[in-house]
Amino acid sequence: MRLSDRQFLLVTATALLAVATHFGQLPAWLAMCVPTLILLRVAHRRRTQRKVALWLRVPLLFTLLAAIVMQFGNVFGREPGSALACAMLAMKLLETESVRDARAALGFSAFVLMSALLNSQGLGITFAVCASLVPLLAALVALQPAATPTPHVWRSELKTAGALFGLGLPLALAAFLFVPRLGAPLWGSPGGFQDARTGLNDQMSPGSMTDLLIDDSPALRVTFAGAVPTPDTRYFRTLVMWDFDGASWLSSGWRRPGSAETLRTLAEPIDYEITLEPSMRPWLPALDVPLDVPLDAPADARMDSTHTLAARKQMGELRQYRLQSATSYRLGETLDERDRARALRLPAEFNPQTLALAEKWREESDSDLAISRKALELFNASFHYTLAAPLLGRHSVDEFLFDTRAGFCEHFSSAYVVLMRAAGIPARVVTGYQGGWWSTTGEYLLVRQSDAHAWAEIWLQDRGWVRVDPTSAVDPVRVEFNAASGGAGPDWMYGNWMRNLRNQLDLVNRMWTQMVVGFNAARQANVLQPLGISKATRSQLLLILSSGIALILLLATAWVLRGDKRRWVDALDAAWRQLLVKLERSGLGLQPAEGPQTLLSRAKQHLRDHPVQPRLKLLVECYVRLRYATAEPAPQDIRAFANQVRALRLPGRGFGKR
């Protein structure tokens, strides 16, 4: 059956809506191309009322396919997959003319909607996508023939779709809760966010964090079992960088765990749990400095000799781990020769001015601590903190120290460590997150990507590795609050109130993340705890799932059949039967094969000259007329007949035996 204009427009609008949920995720050319194709098709159909010709469709299809392959390298995986789905949807619309095509296009739109969620699973987009199901269902309803003759057809269609959606929610939630989650993916790696995700890197050069520092997305959330550490100790250690090649600092990669630096705690360790957003990086940030690998250790988590934690695989999904950390500690009180040499190494022929300055300080000072203090005083006196730091050339530290004198944590930590090494003090760069926003309502610490930070550690005799944050010498506020509130942060992007609002809203995001996004196999196993099953197995979940679905469908069936008891009862027949019952009660035996006329003659004999007899005669005649002489008796006649039958009083059973 051919689509009406209205039906076609509804299908098109739904498809556009589905493509719109991919906004910002499609490559720009495709994001332009798909809606343009769809709109052109609308205009084309309006003019020609036909499919787009095959000779046009086939080359277009291959062009789109080739362009997608050129963009992504292949057509598999999440991003190329959703791009392909959007392109195919547009192609489907080009040939949509029948109800069958339209249904296929709408089914495809559902797929496109779903693939939008594969690339981002925030609260807002999920709600938007789920809500888009209602217009999609309404468009399917609109494909039905013989629309209801109401003035607002769309309203009844939307109502039907909304009812289906709403009534389906219990079933959907039951299925969502109990569909067994996969412990390991069936195909591919769950990763796929790499390109889109900012985060810490194992390489640091001045300016490399700029993108990160203006990224407001959450990096991790921390809940503390006991006391909450003070703001100045909220350093989340992630990577330790030893090697400097003149331009950038590199993380050492894996080191023998046997040579772990000793750790002596000076105060009660802090118990806490970190919920790490998908980072597509293997490392696990931990409050400076973690005692051991996480208590509920992901099997593949390891601790480096420098007390940094990492897993073997990238964190493609939400990860939760519990840790203990010491904020007051002695780390690596002895330093072996290899590490000392490594912590002092500087690339040759770089930053001559800096080396000279450090040597001068060495001569002037009597202790390592004094040299460090000199460096911090220098920063404090004439440097300023800015995210819009000037670009640096070959002698990056020289230029920063003696020329530009403006930068952010990377510049400061890098320059500080180079200064220390040049003065003969073992030093290294540490990156991670610092600060965070404490939610009093949710009692958790929210750490955003913009809280990424780089600081330094120097090794002092009898003290071991000591954390020094050169940035705080310039901008203490940065350390006490967060990056954005210090200096020329991205306040130009949002006002402060906006930032507060976003922080408050994170509570909702956190609930969403914890309850929905992070509902993995492990969490699902605990769902049945109220029923006394502490670790539900897959078969138990399947049992619950199937019985839950069966129960809901049974309830729905019962509800649907509730009104089905109504039998077809003809009002005239019912009244006639009532009359028969009355006659039987008065002693006239009934004979099933008897017609009304014979019944009447028998009743006459039975009643003899009882005064009710003429009325009975009238009633039977009335019935015969209504039943046999009228094609379709009028309802009011039937009603009158029924009333008279009801009013009829016949003599009792004893009458005939007189």
Partner 1 sequence: MSVLGGLASSLWLRILAIAERRLPALTRLRQPESLPILLNRRRIYVLPSMFGIGMATLLVIMQLGALNYSNNPALLLTCMLAAATWMSLFAGFRTLSGLALKGVTASECHAGGMMQLEFRFEGGERMRSGLRLNCADVSTAFCAPAHAEQRVLMAIPAQKRGWWRPGRIRAWTDYPLGMFVLWSWLNPDLAFLIYPQVEPSPPPLPGNPSHGQGVPAPGREGDYAGLRDYRSGDPQRQVAWKASARHGSLLVRETEGQVDENLCLSWNALAHLDHEHRIRRLAAWVLVADAAQLTYTLELGNAQIGPASGTAHRHACLRALALIPDAPE
Which 63-82 residues touch partner 1, going by CB under 8 A?
78
Report in angstroms how near the CB of residue 446 gets to partner 1 at its nearest: 21
Q: Which residues inside 167-206 make contact with partner 1, applying CB under 8 A?
A: 167-173, 175-176, 179, 181-182, 185-188, 190, 192
- Collapsing DSSP to helix, strand or coil, 434 comes out as strand
Choose the binding region for partner 1 from 7-15, 42-50, 113-121, 383-391 (rule: CB under 8 A).
113-121
Query: What tokens appear for 304 in the block?
Result: 């480096």
Report in angstroms how near the CB of residue 27 gets to partner 1 at its nearest: 21
Among 9, 61, 72, 111, binds partner 1 (CB under 8 A): 111
Choose the binding region for partner 1 from 124-132, 458-466, 483-491, 526-534 (rule: CB under 8 A).
124-132
Report in angstroms how near the CB of residue 559 gets to partner 1 at its nearest: 8
Is 4 an interacting residue with respect to partner 1 (CB under 8 A)?
Answer: no
Query: What tokens appear for 291 in the block?
Result: 């005692």
Tell me how far apart the alpha carbons of residues 310 and 301 are, in angstroms, rounded to a whole number. Answer: 6
Tell me how far apart the alpha carbons of residues 575 and 375 are, in angstroms, rounded to a whole number. Answer: 108
Tell me how far apart the alpha carbons of residues 584 and 601 are, in angstroms, rounded to a whole number. Answer: 15
What backbone torsions phi and psi does residue 470 show, to the nearest 5 degrees?
-65, -25
Choose the binding region for partner 1 from 36-44, 120-128, 284-292, 408-416 (rule: CB under 8 A).
120-128
What b/e readout covers 32-49, taking b as 16+ CB neighbours within 10 angstroms?
ebbbebbeebbeebeeee
**Direct distance between the N- and C-terminal alpha carbons of the chain, in angstroms, rounded to an integer:** 75
Report in angstroms how near the CB of residue 570 gets to partner 1 at its nearest: 8
Count of residues near partner 1 by CB under 8 A:
73
Q: Which residues inside 207-266 make contact with partner 1, applying CB under 8 A?
A: none
DSSP H/E element including 321:
strand 319-325
Which residues neighbour 219 within 8 Å (Cβ) at sequence distance 6 or greater?
199, 276, 277, 279, 285, 433, 447, 448, 449, 451, 452
Report in angstroms how near the CB of residue 418 gets to partner 1 at its nearest: 43
- Asked if residues 581 and 628 have their Cβ atoms less than 8 Å apart, the reply is no
Report in angstroms how near the CB of residue 557 gets to partner 1 at its nearest: 7
Report in angstroms how near the CB of residue 148 gets to partner 1 at its nearest: 4
Is 118 an interacting residue with respect to partner 1 (CB under 8 A)?
Answer: yes
Is 556 an interacting residue with respect to partner 1 (CB under 8 A)?
Answer: yes
Q: Which residues inside 597-636 make contact with partner 1, applying CB under 8 A?
A: 632
Binding track over 9-48 against partner 1, x by CB under 8 A? ----------------------------------------
Q: Which residues inside 289-328 make contact with partner 1, applying CB under 8 A?
A: 317
Tell me how far apart the alpha carbons of residues 342 and 135 are, in angstroms, rounded to a whole number. Answer: 63
Which of residues 126 and 201 has its CB atom nearest to partner 1 in the complex?
126
Choose the binding region for partner 1 from 117-125, 240-248, 266-274, 617-625 (rule: CB under 8 A).
117-125
Alpha-helix residue ranges (DSSP H) falling in 366-408: 368-382, 396-399
Report in angstroms how near the CB of residue 417 gets to partner 1 at its nearest: 40
Beta strands in 327-451 (DSSP E): 329-331, 384-385, 406-407, 427-434, 437-439, 444-448
Among 4, 71, 98, 126, binds partner 1 (CB under 8 A): 126
Binding track over 569-598 against partner 1, x by CB under 8 A? -x----------------------------
Q: Per 3-state DSSP, what percentage of the chain is helix, strand, and coil (rounded to 5)?
A: 55, 15, 35
Which of residues 111 and 494 has its CB atom nearest to partner 1 in the complex?
111
Which residues neighbour 524 within 8 Å (Cβ) at sequence distance 6 or greater?
177, 178, 180, 181, 536, 541
Amino acid making up residue 277? E
Query: What tokens appear for 13 in the block?
Result: 């609008």
Choose the binding region for partner 1 from 29-37, 38-46, 366-374, 563-571 (rule: CB under 8 A).
563-571
Using CB atoms within 10 A of its CB, is residue 170 exposed (0-12), middle (13-18) or buried (19+)?
A: middle
Q: Which residues inside 139-168 make contact with partner 1, applying CB under 8 A?
A: 140-141, 143-149, 156, 160-161, 163-165, 167-168
- Asked if residues 642 and 626 have their Cβ atoms less than 8 Å apart, the reply is no
Report in angstroms how near the CB of residue 188 gets to partner 1 at its nearest: 7
Among 258, 532, 563, 592, binds partner 1 (CB under 8 A): 563
- Residue among 327, 256, 318, 260 at smallest CA distance from 290: 327
Q: Which residues inside 467-526 make contact with partner 1, applying CB under 8 A?
A: 516-521
Which of residues 149 and 654 has its CB atom nearest to partner 1 in the complex?
149
Longest dimension (CA), the chain: 145
Report in angstroms how near the CB of residue 100 gets to partner 1 at its nearest: 7
